[in-house]
Amino acid sequence: MKQYPISRDGWIYLAILAVLAVLAYWVWPWLVILPGIVFLFVAFFFRNPERDIPTDELTLVSPADGVIMDVERVFEDQFLNGESIRVRIFLSVFNVHVNRSPLVGKVVFRAYRPGQMIPAFKSHASELNEKNYVGIQNKQLQVLVTQVTGFIARRIVCWVNIGDIVAKGERFGLIKFGSCTEIFVPTNVAIMVSPGDRVRGGVSVIGRVSVD
């Protein structure tokens, strides 16, 4: 999928705001300020920067920009079907909201669950909010990435399907207007981040696979 500096999913909002700005200017020139400010914010929110992706095959990169909320051992029953390590990342409205694959591999699982609109930074938001699951595997391991919406809007975008091959750091979707992204990994992955750390999607190393 061809990528642009501003994600195509934001173009419709920018077009609407541009029309509103023109109409506002016709009514009273000073009115253009409000839609103009919103236009700039939406363009900022849907920014889609290029990233230099680490090449080490044994490392997993962050699937999102944001702040690490927690790192916990959990039982994951959607894809990994066993004990795993969950790393949760909170994305504010000021973060890049494009999601990226943490490793090179094949998409072998996808599922979607509708849900509520609890703020994404709440500990129980993952269990109740709208959520999309993407399972990726390669010869070394399987990981599950989930996209969880927040309270401002419920809109998950996912560009990959079962059978697609994704590169490490490749963009696979986005979440609109405040959200949480989770990555579930096997217990043989050494986690290299801690709660409170700031990470960048496709760049920051989340963990390293043990080959012992």
Q: How many CB atoms lie within 10 A of CB 163?
A: 9
Q: Which of 7, 84, 179, 204 is catalytic?
A: 179
Shortest CA distance to 139 belongs to which of 55, 209, 61?
209
Instruction: Judge contact between 62 and 202, C-beta under 8 A.
Output: yes
Q: Which DSSP helix (H) or strand (E) runs through 18?
A: helix 11-27
Shortest CA distance to 141 belongs to which of 190, 178, 177?
190
DSSP conformation class of 10: G
DSSP conformation class of 211: -
Instruction: Judge contact between 9 and 46, C-beta under 8 A.
Output: yes
Placement of tokens 């500990």 in the chain: 123
Shortest CA distance to 181 belongs to which of 63, 76, 82?
63
179 flagged as catalytic: yes
Catalytic residues: 179
